[in-house]
Amino acid sequence: MYDCIIIGGGPAGLSAAIQLRRRNRSVLVVSNPAAQNPLSKAEKIDNYLGLPGLTGAELLERFQQHAEDAGVEFKTGRVISTMAFDGWMLNVGAEVYQAKALILAAGVTRAAKYPGEQELLGHGVSYCATCDGMLYRKKPVVVVGRSADAPQEANYLAEIGCQVTYVSPQQPKGLNPEIPYVKANRLAVEGEGSVEALTADGAKLPCQGVFILRDSVAPTDLIPGLETEGGYIKVNRHMETSVSGVFAAGDCTGKPLQVSKAVGEGLVAGDSADKFLD
């Protein structure tokens, strides 16, 4: 059981983590690999006070080193679901972690849901190959690859005996060459009561399961009752969300989507989580 789990390893999450460590709290940061962080793709960050001229990747590396030195623990992976129970329980892939408080700092999720996705979630649509894959052995499934690790998850499904087709807008890296790949962008999940097919740019791919693998699960899907405003998580000046014990910081709370703002909010969220833990 950690004092606090932080979802997201960007500037906001790491700033919150360092602040909590300064208050001697145990902290786990769950995030995608640093290379997938949008900051690491920024050519130059010139408005971060005192450290001009660094690339986004360099800045992120410094933040990470700082957090590591402060005793923050890290876990690479995607949070699939959470549950309030004696604090919070989180699924990272198929593993379970526990914490007394949560900080949401996973940036902005740009992906809108596909037609049919919400209606058939749990009836053939899944966000977690390692969770539900075994139920689809010997059955046709489609993996919708919208994250860097999606090819590995597709390979896993093929290994355990699913008949996998991989669909994504770009040629995937690391996909088992025996898995058929369909290049498509406009998708819809079809079926009455359970999944019957995925329509990919007009072509119908019959299947019983559709695994939709994005970089992150939308925070409103993770935390029941989480209020949003204009597509961003609603917070007050203490970075408290509408759910007790859950704080948010950084891009996920709204514009400007800037490093300085994220770092400042992270500090406030860390402080507020510390007070909550008292």
Among 47, 65, 185, 194, binds another protein (CB under 8 A): 194
Stretch of 23-31, 62-70, 83-91, 233-241 lying at the interface with another protein (CB under 8 A)? 83-91
Q: Residue 208, interface with another protein (CB under 8 A)?
A: yes
Rounded to whole angstroms, the Cα distance separating 71 from 29 reads 11
Smaller CB separation from another protein, 62 or 139: 139
**Which of 87, 107, 84, 124 is closest to 222 using CA atoms?**
84
Rounded to whole angstroms, the Cα distance separating 8 from 163 reads 33
Which H or E element spans position 60?
A: helix 56-69
Q: Residue 85, interface with another protein (CB under 8 A)?
A: yes
**Which of 88, 92, 82, 66 is closest to 13 using CA atoms?**
66
Smaller CB separation from another protein, 81 or 176: 81
CA 166 to the chain's CA centroid:
21
Cβ-based burial of 65 (10 A; exposed 0-12, middle 13-18, buried ≥19): exposed
Size, binding site for another protein by CB under 8 A: 28
Question: Which residues, numbered 15-74, are part of the site for another protein (CB under 8 A)?
Answer: none
Among 42, 83, 182, 218, binds another protein (CB under 8 A): 83
- At its nearest, how many Å lie between another protein and the CB of residue 61? 31
**Which of 10, 89, 40, 1 is closest to 269 using CA atoms?**
10
Q: Residue 91, interface with another protein (CB under 8 A)?
A: yes
Question: Which residues, numbered 116-145, are part of the site for another protein (CB under 8 A)?
Answer: 121-124, 126, 128, 130-132, 134-135
The two tokens of residue 224 are: 């029941």
Rounded to whole angstroms, the Cα distance separating 103 from 274 reads 11
Specify whether the CB–CB gap between 167 and 205 falls below 8 A.
yes
- At its nearest, how many Å lie between another protein and the CB of residue 157? 14
Q: How many CA atoms lie within 13 A of 185 on its CB side?
A: 2
Specify whether the CB–CB gap between 113 and 135 falls below 8 A.
no
Smaller CB separation from another protein, 106 or 195: 195
Among 47, 51, 95, 186, binds another protein (CB under 8 A): 95
Smaller CB separation from another protein, 223 or 269: 223
Among 11, 209, 266, 270, binds another protein (CB under 8 A): 209
Residues that bind another protein (CB under 8 A): 80-85, 89, 91, 93-96, 121-124, 126, 128, 130-132, 134-135, 194-195, 208-209, 224
